[in-house]
Every structure is written in structure tokens, then in C-alpha cells.
Amino acid sequence: MPETLRRQLDGRVKLSCLYCANPVGSTEHVLPAAFGYFRNAPMLPDRLCSNCNNNRLGVLDEQLARCGVEGFFRKYYGIVGRKEHDSVNPFMRGSAGGKRIEARTFDRVAGREVSVEIGRGQATQLCAISFIEKESRKVLHDIPLNPKMTPEELRTAYDRCQITTPCDVALASHPHEREWIEPLIQQAWPNATFSEGTLMSNVIERPALKFQVTDRYHRAFAKLGFHYFLSQFSRFTGREGCFADIRQFIAEDIDDSQGRASSFITERKTPLLSTIANGLTPPDGWRAHVIAAEIRPGGCVAHVQMFITCDWKSPIRTIVLARSEAFTSLEAAGHLFLYHSDEKQDGYAGEAKALPVMPI
């Protein structure tokens, strides 16, 4: 259908959402706003209803921004999203079905593992009760503590651990936190007694990080790539039959972390950025995201690389969007989402720049 005719019809016919039968009524940030607002960032208008954008698919963005490696870097760099959203510490609790990020390091003075949280480049000991295996001194479970926690929630968290191995119990806290921690624990276990809490020593080894995500994490990358493709190639509505599989993968909430994802997402080995070709000489502190999309004979794909930094080689995910002999041309588009080196400027965390495309 000619582009002019399609636009005329779009003005007369109320289009439905890509993922449900509701009418469209929302403009989406292609790169989730949780990673900051970027000047000149690609947007996707009139393809989603408000419920799918904010709720049904919002849980995908939520898990991506809080539970995986991307959630760690977001916390590490102090990146904040929408002001109206609750601030969540990903080291304290999980989100949208994903588990909290666990970070542990060996404290030589204490002679055991300790759990830490990391924010704005600094590591501090996590306020938590730790259950430690007597012989190995390995932390079996941590229960993070916070002032809003109830005794019932604490007991539920303990029961969920299902601890059977003989173990020691250690409380990590700062002195000012004891005024609410001790009443909390005594209400949960009236016979509990307390000794001095321990703080992490000054000797810190590199923490080991543990991430536990679900199918939603992978679907978030698929959504990001698909919506970027639609933002750059406007002749496609996304409702075409060739996109039925990727739409279904994005929309269906099934607990299958790897099975379905491997059918749509692979890891690309060829770099998306060429520092020489694009005139990029990353200085210290340089960090960015790259999103790209290609039309090839036989199909189309998108590529997503989050948190490229000077010392982190982040994985490049390639998302298969469609396979069809109807695709015969060679076209590509890409954007660099580059964070400002200092604080926000005019309310923006960085700037989105269209990248010159070099066929490979």
C-alpha cells in the first residue's frame, strides 16, 4: 500500500494496538525511560494502547532495568528513570518476577563472605541477616532488611530459604540502623539475642555477582529491537503477518527463560561500532547504548547492545524480527544513546545520535 494512502486511511480508521484489540493511545520510548531520557531519542507513536505500554509490557522493562546486568549498571551509575515510579534497590529485592541482584565478596577480617550493594561506583555492606555454613564459611542465604519490613515478611523470607544445614547467623548493619532492626527481629523471634553488628573491613575483593531473570528479560530485548525497527522503517505498521511470531513472543507471558528466547535472540560477534569509522574515541567514563536494525533479503533483524563502557565488553543481542521472501532490499539504521559525562543537562541524561551505516 502506498505510504500516502496508508496515512490517509490511518486518519479515518481507529488503529488497534500491536498486542491487543484496544485502540492505540500511547507514545512509547523505544529505549525504556528507566535508562534515562535522551535528547532526540527515537519514539514510537500510535502503535500501543496505554495498558500494554504501561502495564502489560511495562513488566518487561521493569525486569530489564532492575534484575539483569543492565540493572547493575543502572544502579552503579546512579541512573534514574521516571520520577513517578517507586525507587527500587535491586540489591534488596527483585522485580517483575526476576530475583534481586546478589553481590558477595570475601571479608578477610571477618573471615567470611559478606553481601554488598553497589551504587554510584561505591560498594557498601548490605543491611541483612546472613546464614553461613559453619565449615566453608559460605553464605547460604541473605535476607535483606529495610525499615518498612514487617515481622511477618521477615518470617516468610526465612521460611522461603528452607535452611536445613547447620549454620551460623550474622547481622550486618550500621549503628544507626539498629534502632529499627532489633525490634523487627525480636517481634519475629522473641527469643533472639544480639551481639555487636559487623561492618565490612577496608579490604574488599572484587564482588561476585549473581543474576536470576525470567522470560520477561529476554522479551524486553525483543520488544526494544522490534519497536526500534518500526520507529525507523515507518512503511511497516508492525501488524503485518510476517511479524506475527515476534509479536506473540513479546506479548505472551510464559515462564520459559531460554527455550523460546533462543528461537528469536542470538549473540552477535561482529562489533556494531567501529571507532575509526564513526569517529568515536571513548574517553574515561564514556558509556552508551546502541540499537540498530537491518532489512536483508529474506528477513529483518535488530541489534541491541546495552551499557557499552571503556572497560566492559557488553554482549550484542541480535533479534530475528521476521523471515519472509518479501524482503529483498538492503537497508539499515542505527542510533547511539550517549550519556553525558556529568550530570543531566536540561533534564536529559544524554543524547541520541543517528549512526552512519556501513554494510557488513
Per residue in 61-97, pLDDT tens? Answer: 999 999 999 999 999 998 987 765 567 899 999 999 9
| pLDDT one-digit tens code per residue, 295-307 | 999 999 999 999 9
pTM of the predicted model, to two decimals?
0.88
Report the C-alpha dihedral over residues 263, 267, 268, 272, rounded to 10 degrees.
110
What residue ranges do the domains of the chain occupy?
3-68+213-354, 102-210
Please state, in angstroms and rounded to a whole number, the distance separating the CA atoms of residues 230 and 247. 12
For residue 277, count CB atoms less than 10 angstroms from its CB and return exposed for 0-12, middle for 13-18, buried for 19 or more.
exposed
Judge residue 286's burial from the number of C-beta atoms within 10 Å of its C-beta, 0-12 exposed, 13-18 middle, 19 or more buried. middle
Distance between CA 68 and CA 217 in Å, rounded?
8
Pick the more confident residue, 83 or 172: 172
Average pLDDT, the chain: 87
Beta carbons of 317 and 302 less than 8 angstroms apart:
no
What are the grid coordinates assigned to 250, written together?
513479546
Q: Within a 13 Å sphere around the CA of 291, how many CA atoms are in the beta-carbon half?
A: 23
- In tens, the pLDDT along 189-243 reads 998 887 765 566 655 678 889 999 999 999 999 999 999 999 999 999 999 999 9
Grid cell locating 21? 484489540
Quick one: pLDDT at residue 311? 78
